Amino acid sequence: MKENRIGVYICHCGGNISDYVDVNKVKEAVENDEGIALSKTTIFACADSNQKEMVEDIKEQNLSGVVVASCSPKLHLLTFRSVSERAGLNKYNYVHANIREQVSWAHSDDKIGATEKAIQIVKAAIAKVKLAEPLEPITVPTVNAVAVIGAGIAGMRAAIELADAGSNVILLEREFFIGGRIAQFDNLCVSNETGKELITRLYNEVMSHENVTLYTGAELVETSGSVGDFKIKIKVTPRYINSHCAKGELQKAIDVCPVKVPDEFNFNITDRKAIYHNYPSEYPQLPVIDMKNCTRCGECEKVCSSIDFSQKEKIIESNVGSILVATGFDPYEPEVGEFGYKTIENVVTLPQFKRIVHYAKDKLLYKGKLVRNIAYIYCVGSRQLDGENKYCSRYCCTSNIYAAITAKKQFGNINNFHFNRGIRTYGKQELLYDESSRMGDIYLQSFEDLPPTVESVNGKTVVKINDYLTGGKELEVEADLVVLVTGMVPRKDNSIEKLLKIPKGRDKFFNEIHMKLRPVETVIDGVTIAGACQGPKNIMESMNSALAAATKSFSLVDSGELAHEPIVAIVNADNCTYCDLCSQACPFDAIQMIEYNGKSIAEINNSTCKGCGMCIPVCPTNALDLTSFTDKEIFSMIDAIANHS
Amino acid sequence: MENHYKELSYDVLVVGGGIAGGEAALNLANIGYKVIIVEKELSIGGKMILLSKVFPTLDCAACITTPKISEIDRHSNISIFTSSEITKIEKKAEYEFVAIIHQKPRYVHIEDCTGCQLCEEACPVNVEDQYQYGLVGRKAAYIPFSIASPRVAAIDIENCTLCGACERACPTSCIDFTQTDEYFRLKVNSVIVATGFKLFDPLKIPRYGFDRFKNVITSMQMERQLAPTRPYNTILRPGDGKMPDNIAYVLCTGSRDKSVGNPICSQVCCMYSIKQAQLLMGALPMADITIYYLHIRAFGKGFNEFYGQAQEMGVEFVKGKVAKIKSADNGNLFLRYEDFEDGIVKEAEHDMVVLSVGILPNMGIDDVFDGEDLNLDEFNFIQQSDPLASPAKTSIEGVFVAGTASGPMDIPDSILSSGAASAEATSYLRRIKS
């Protein structure tokens, strides 16, 4: 058995500990214990000067293990591990004892009791360090490639960044055309750019990178493996049109197609054919045949040689080190009858209004009638009193005010009435609100529990409100068009969420680990999130999160290997009978069944195991243990505490 | 002078060691770039390290900041220069910036100081503590604040009487009055500007009576009163030390106000005021809290729910613009305000008033650029040259902006914008090779 030469440091934490714990008494209680080579108190163990002293102590005294009794290991475990390493001692021969959060801060009313508890905790740490084994980090090789799910603005921006930095990128878009929601926007606020221009810019940049492979009509259907090396399967639906074709012929094919279906790209305010493209932002510049609605009449084939119904669905397999999810949002779809939606003819949503303005020429017409008075009803689908969506959708106030100003400038003679619940044009967006007020837009605010109403009266659409700003007076506006300012909701299609097991927050958007510390990471190692799939965002905010997520994903795949904590579960093959209880208890899918010496046993995947210990207590044959927290170590700690008290 | 410069060379210079600069530096250091952070204060951590808890999760700010700070501090790819300012940045060519760093003497050898605070005890000079926003005093020999990084003493030479008491008290003899200004010439390939923000000075609105009425304080002073390292260990009104039981918040102090030259919304004041109101209800369970607001901007993830929570807890929200604050003999305050709901001018009495001051740009960073201009927007924040596609880009290629240097934003948005700045810097640096 090795000779123990243990160094113990008791930290005052500048009074944080020593005001309530008698640190000298703690030192005295342990200094004569077996195996203790040195014990000291220190004002601030983490101070540079003390760290240097510790390094010298470890070297000079040839220490075999170190204990620092100080604050939470969350704060300084890594600090003192690195001290040990610098002194040539394996960092897993360092044990941290928390006598601040667990002792002095918790028991500031009982100094004697606090000191006793600190002694027990330090004795337990000494017991553990005596049994501690030197360990080496587990390294796993990483594939320098990232799968980006979703080729909207966030996904494309992340793809460009990753490619610039030097990773290979597989960019997947479920739709046949890239650009996501921004493709449906015209002028974008705080710039003179249109959605189409922004998307064109990003698309051209994506296509100029040799290390980005874009798949459209593509869905992620299967993943396995873990951070550093995910195996992914992609299903690619064909366009049924060969890429090389004469444009004139294709237009003829579209013209002759007899099928008419509502055009989702235009939020159903127009129709499209079964062979179609998303005017105006059509990237890749090749139409597609929508097989769900195609009747296979063959008319298109007659006029166009590049139609090819023999194209088959393809499955592509690849390996990536990280997966960046940028699946975006859906606009809230109001219930039938919600503020007259689908029950009163001239009630539309904000996304529909934008498409209506897009198609209008010099006059704003809706269903053939001239539009002069527009009533905008805010917070539809957001900040719901009764519904599930308690959150604010963040972008809609600004987006709507901008749309209203744009319509007024473009068509003149428009009266805008904003039925709002308190305008949230935060930051510099305030200037738009100011501009709209100066242009004569009317703002009416409803009471929180008394939303405005939309009624059809003698063929006229009337919006009524009890206006907060005029002492609750009932006011009404006869509107030619009612625009429901709909917010953002998570995508209806939840296939990615199910496949990758990304947790969702209260608002049902994807959840980050920590809003401030790890805002683009999920609890699934190697899976990052960007853009509005994480919560409502405007374009700039989506871009920031896309770039941040790209940085994170890149840092995971760039170095060629990842080092994991070697604190993982271990299986005793002799005891294991593979009952499967451990794998059911594992939250990380890190346990598999393997055949070993003619029997089935559990095997731990060291790159996914987090060392959480959930599997240990469920094992009926005691075949599992955890490195650095072995049963032996834990029992010795309990003994140390029990023996002292 | 020229030959006194010490030469330094790094991949990236990060100007400002707040949470935005620190995050950007960490991102870059983690992928192998050598980064230098230049911070004008004595400690890194910026404004965030001084906050109490942060919305909407009510995490303790120190608990988030200090592990991040220690990670930055011990990162082998990051060097930190505190009490240092950049006086010049010249772009010689693409990927080639030369900056001059002016490091002011701390009169303490950082490596030797243990932070024992014996010098503080010995020092006979008392002055206002800037890190407690003037709520209490400090010595001329002092540790900036308890969780400062580095947590070592500094001598405030302007107020020091050179009595020598600190030198005699110091057990490691680390106090050194012979230290002088040092200058470094720094070569870097790219620059990230993360110079943060300053708070609106409420003296510019005399009708609110800040400074004249001691019980009118700023939100940052309330933040310090609520922090774990708070000066009074409870909430007191500074005028007479009474525990307040009827506190008012005046939102949009210095924001959305053309009369003080700041028409924009500061983006964080609604939320930090709602947060403080919730914390106050915990600290002073009997106190009434009233928030006077124009619009509540609870727009971020979980913000609106947090606002709802405050309403349920009983925080009073009054939609109204406060015109004037008067003081009574007992130190209480009368707020004259326009009540929007009733459409009339009213007056209300409170025993303490918190001015929710807004965010203004930290000026001056554009002046240090030589040759090429770093453009500012109309509010003197750093202009983003391509806000929609590349929000971190500025008018100078290779110079990127992170955090509130480009406009008001909250902590999560600052962190994301730092991610953007470090990403842009990475791809800029990668282009050196090609």
Q: Do A517 and B64 touch (CB under 8 A)?
A: yes
CA B178 to chain centre: 31
How many angstroms separate the CA atoms of A143 and A138, rounded? 16
Which residues 6+ apart lie within 8 Å of B168 measured at CB? B122
Query: How close, in Å, is residue B209 to chain A by CA atoms?
Result: 26
Say if A6-135 and A145-237+313-328+503-557 have the same CATH topology.
no
CB burial of A1-30 (b: ≥16 within 10 Å; e: otherwise) equals eeebebbbbbbbbbebbbebbbbeebbebb
pLDDT score, position B68: 87
Q: Do B67 and A75 touch (CB under 8 A)?
A: yes
Answer whether B52's CB lies under 8 Å from B226's CB: yes
Q: Cβ–Cβ contacts within 10 Å for residue B78, how many? A: 24
- Specify the DSSP element, H or E, that contains A643: helix A631-644
Per-residue pLDDT reduced to its tens digit, A138-185 = 998 999 999 999 999 999 999 999 999 999 999 999 999 999 999 888
Tell how many helices (H) and how many strands (E) occur in chain A. 15, 34
Measure Cα distances from B328 to B235, B247, B355 in Å.
21, 15, 18
Per-residue pLDDT reduced to its tens digit, A206-232 = 999 999 999 999 999 999 888 999 999
Residue A430: closest C-alpha in chain B: B264
Of residues A268, A387, A322, A287, the one with CA closest to residue A145:
A322
How many angstroms separate the CA atoms of A330 and A614, rounded? 37
Answer whether B277's CB lies under 8 Å from B291's CB: yes
Residues in A closer than 8 angstroms to B68, CB to CB, are 517
Which residues 6+ apart lie within 8 Å of B304 measured at CB? A383, A390, A391, A392, B298
Cis amide prior to B144 (ω within 30 degrees): no
pLDDT score, position A589: 85
- Specify the DSSP element, H or E, that contains A369: strand A369-370
Per-residue pLDDT reduced to its tens digit, A590-645 = 999 999 989 999 999 988 898 999 999 999 999 999 999 999 999 999 999 998 76
Size of interface A-B (CB pairs under 8 A): 197
3-state SS assignment for residue B30: helix
pLDDT score, position B151: 86
pLDDT score, position A280: 64
DSSP 3-state percent helix, strand, coil across chain A (nearest 5): 35, 25, 40
How many angstroms separate the CA atoms of B172 and A305, rounded? 88
Instruction: Tell me the CATH number for domain A331-489.
Output: 3.50.50.60
pLDDT score, position B434: 62
The full set of domains in chain B, from first to last, is: 2-104+181-196+362-433 (3.50.50.60), 118-164 (no CATH), 200-359 (3.50.50.60)
How many angstroms separate the CA atoms of B6 and B193, rounded? 22
- Specify the DSSP element, H or E, that contains B336: strand B333-339
Write down the ipTM of this complex: 0.95
Query: How close, in Å, is residue B151 to chain A by CA atoms?
Result: 8
Answer whether B35's CB lies under 8 Å from B78's CB: yes
Residues in B closer than 8 angstroms to A43, CB to CB, are 114-116
Q: Does B339 touch chain A (CB under 8 A)?
A: no
How many angstroms separate the CA atoms of A574 and A621, rounded? 10
3-state SS assignment for residue A398: helix
How many angstroms separate the CA atoms of A176 and A154, rounded? 17
Residues in A closer than 8 angstroms to B424, CB to CB, are 161, 547
Residues in B closer than 8 angstroms to A187, CB to CB, are none
Tokens in use for A252? Answer: 């003829």
pLDDT score, position A191: 80
Q: Cβ–Cβ contacts within 10 Å for residue A335, how many? A: 12
- Concatenated DSSP letters of B204-233: G-GGG-BTTBTTEEEHHHHHHHHSTT-SSS
Residues in A closer than 8 angstroms to B144, CB to CB, are none
- The bridge status of strand A94-98 relative to strand A373-380 is unpaired
How many angstroms separate the CA atoms of B122 and B109, rounded? 18
pLDDT score, position B228: 77
- The bridge status of strand B316-327 relative to strand B182-188 is unpaired
Q: Do A391 and B304 touch (CB under 8 A)?
A: yes
Select the residue of B112, B114, B416 nearest A44 (Cβ to Cβ): B114
CA A73 to chain centre: 27
User: Could you tell me the residue ranges of all domains in chain A?
Assistant: 6-135, 145-237+313-328+503-557, 247-303, 331-489, 565-627
Answer whether A274's CB lies under 8 Å from A290's CB: yes
What is the topology classification, in CATH, of domain A565-627? Alpha-Beta Plaits (3.30.70)
pLDDT score, position B119: 97
Of residues A108, A19, A515, the one with CA closest to residue B146:
A19
How many angstroms separate the CA atoms of A508 and A393, rounded? 13
Answer whether B182's CB lies under 8 Å from B6's CB: yes
Which residues 6+ apart lie within 8 Å of B329 measured at CB? none
Measure Cα distances from B166 to A14, A44, B151 in Å.
18, 20, 17
Interface of B with A in 53-82 (CB under 8 A): 54, 57, 59, 64, 66-68, 70-71, 74
Q: Which residues of chain B have pLDDT under 70?
A: 1-3, 433-434
pLDDT score, position A492: 94
DSSP 3-state percent helix, strand, coil across chain B (nearest 5): 25, 30, 45
Instruction: Tell me the CATH number for domain A6-135.
Output: 3.40.50
Mean pLDDT of chain A: 93
Q: Do A507 and B301 touch (CB under 8 A)?
A: yes
Q: Cβ–Cβ contacts within 10 Å for residue A296, how many? A: 11
Interface of A with B in 156-175 (CB under 8 A): 157, 161, 164-166
- The upper half-sphere exposure of residue B162, i.e. CA atoms within 13 Å in the direction of its Cβ, equals 4
Tokens in use for A36? Answer: 């203790």
What is the topology classification, in CATH, of domain A145-237+313-328+503-557? FAD/NAD(P)-binding domain (3.50.50)
Select the residue of A50, A157, A429 nearest B389 (Cβ to Cβ): A157
The CA-based angle A438-A442-A448, given to 5 degrees, is 125
Q: Does B363 touch chain A (CB under 8 A)?
A: no
pLDDT score, position A352: 96
**Partners of A169 in the β-ladder:** A146, A212
Measure Cα distances from A182 to A150, A355, A502, B324 in Å.
13, 12, 24, 45
The CA-based angle A401-A404-A405, given to 5 degrees, is 85
Select the residue of B30, B377, B412 nearest A519 (Cβ to Cβ): B412
Select the residue of A46, A161, A471 nearest B423 (Cβ to Cβ): A161
**Partners of B6 in the β-ladder:** B184
Q: Do B305 and A506 touch (CB under 8 A)?
A: yes
Of residues A386, A234, A216, A391, the one with CA closest to residue A320:
A234
Tokens in use for B292? Answer: 């006077």
How many angstroms separate the CA atoms of B162 and B164, rounded? 5
How many angstroms separate the CA atoms of A283 and A214, rounded? 11
Q: Which residues of chain A have pLDDT under 70?
A: 1-2, 244, 280-281, 645
Q: Cβ–Cβ contacts within 10 Å for residue A567, how many? A: 17
CB burial of A164-192 (b: ≥16 within 10 Å; e: otherwise) equals bbebbbbbbbbbbbbbbbbbbbbbbbbee
* Virtual torsion, Cα A82, A88, A91, A93, nearest 10 deg: -140
